[in-house]
Chains A and B, each alone.
Chain A
Amino acid sequence: DAGVTQSPTHLIKTRGQQVTLRCSPKSGHDTVSWYQQALGQGPQFIFQYYEEEERQRGNFPDRFSGHQFPNYSSELNVNALLLGDSALYLCASSFQTSGAYLAKNIQYFGAGTRLSVL
């Protein structure tokens, strides 16, 4: 059973460029969340996709956008890259449940894409 896979593993871009990161969720999962982890920090929530729609967003500018496909895979796009966008980008997948067990939904993470902006 494949876990969460992300590609590419590493990327080097220059300021002003655009980048697309990809994520395939764990089998059976329908929800994908993206996180940015700066060096020495905890992951920060960017946004979450469910049923091909963005349903929650963290405190990130519109330069960060995403997409979810019918097969539940997802892309994260970042436009007009800044030096401060250099970070590890983590994708997490989970299965949407409801009711009393909502908080127990466990997010499983991929190994991340390490983006360096020069």
Chain B
Amino acid sequence: AQKITQTQPGMFVQEKEAVTLDCTYDTSDQSYGLFWYKQPSSGEMIFLIYQGSYDEQNATEGRYSLNFQKARKSANLVISASQLGDSAMYFCAMRGSGGYQKVTFGTGTKLQVIP
């Protein structure tokens, strides 16, 4: 079974500052993928960034980077230079190996960017 834990129900960050959203995971799979999604109040789940368990480098996508520490089973999302439009729910998720594509989500972190 897979489990995602996000311990920060809510976070505040000043505009233009960087913020780190925490995520830890648990799985018995050797090969797995980690994802971060953003969900604005409109409801749509927007894909942000992906990290594979065998990737040697941390993933980056524009202002988003994923701090992957495999031994600690953590996959924290770092957002640099926060913008007001970054205010949303953020979900960490994972998929294991095995031929199927079920994705397991955490409970999310609500990020609010303060002007």
Contact = CB atoms under 8 A, between A and B. Distances in A.
Contact of B101 (A41, A88, A107): A107
Contact of B97 (A43, A48, A103): A103
Given A92-B45, A106-B35, A109-B44, A43 B96 contact: no
A109 B95 CA distance: 15
Instruction: Assign chain A's interface to a size class.
Output: 20 to 34
Instruction: Assign chain B's interface to a size class.
Output: 20 to 34
Interface stretch (B14-22, B47-55, B70-78, B80-88): B47-55
Given A88-B43, A103-B95, A112-B43, A48 B37 contact: no
Contacts of A56: 100-102
Interface of B: 4, 31-33, 35, 37, 42-47, 50, 52-54, 91, 93, 95-97, 99-108
22 contacts: A31-B101, A33-B103, A35-B105, A43-B91, A43-B103, A45-B104, A55-B100, A56-B101, A90-B45, A98-B99, A100-B31, A100-B54, A102-B31, A102-B97, A102-B99, A102-B101, A103-B32, A103-B33, A104-B33, A105-B101, A109-B47, A114-B43
